[in-house]
Copies of this chain bind each other. A is one copy, B any other.
Amino acid sequence: MIVETTINETLRKNQLSVTDSRKKILELFLQTQGALAHSDVEKQTGTLFDRVTIYRTLQTFVEKGIIHTIPTADNSVKYALCIDECTEGHHHDNHVHFVCDECNTTFCLTHVQIPSVKLPGGFTGKQTDVIISGICSRCGNQ
């Protein structure tokens, strides 16, 4: 169980009103190891909140830098907490994400170094996202 104080503090720090939906959705992310899609949040909160509220809450969290979006090869958008306090300047610039082919969980690998890529002439890179798919530690060790 996550201490409610932590959740409230996080919201206050980000100048957000403390509301039921925000508390519950933030708690969900804190409890979840992997990333969540909008539909996941919707399923896990049942009929507690309106669909629109969930959209707006996720959007707000992204704007405040509490969560970030993850690129996926299919059309789904996924969100994940930035676990490290890399949040300093609210720049979630470089990320490595791991999607398990078996259980379909998305991991945000914060402790992995982003490799630098040589770009062709004239191209200037700002942000690099790496998505690796394969088998995660849980599914591999069975």
A128, chain B: closest CB distance, angstroms: 5
- Answer yes or no: A133 CB below 8 A from chain B CBs: yes
Interface string of A103-136 (1 = CB under 8 A from B): 0000101011101111111111111111111111
* A127 and B132 form a contact (CB under 8 A): yes
A47, chain B: closest CB distance, angstroms: 24
- Answer yes or no: A16 CB below 8 A from chain B CBs: no
The chain B residue with its CB closest to the CB of A129 is B131
Q: How many copies does the complex hold?
A: 2
* A69 and B73 form a contact (CB under 8 A): yes
- Answer yes or no: A20 CB below 8 A from chain B CBs: no
* A123 and B96 form a contact (CB under 8 A): no
* A129 and B126 form a contact (CB under 8 A): no
* A113 and B123 form a contact (CB under 8 A): no
Taking CB atoms and an 8 Å cut-off, the chain A residues in 25-46 that contact chain B are: none
Q: For the A-B complex with A75-B75, A96-B117, A125-B134 known, give 12 more contacts whose Cβ atoms are closer than 8 Å.
A: A71-B72, A71-B73, A75-B77, A98-B123, A109-B119, A109-B120, A112-B120, A113-B117, A113-B118, A126-B132, A127-B133, A130-B130
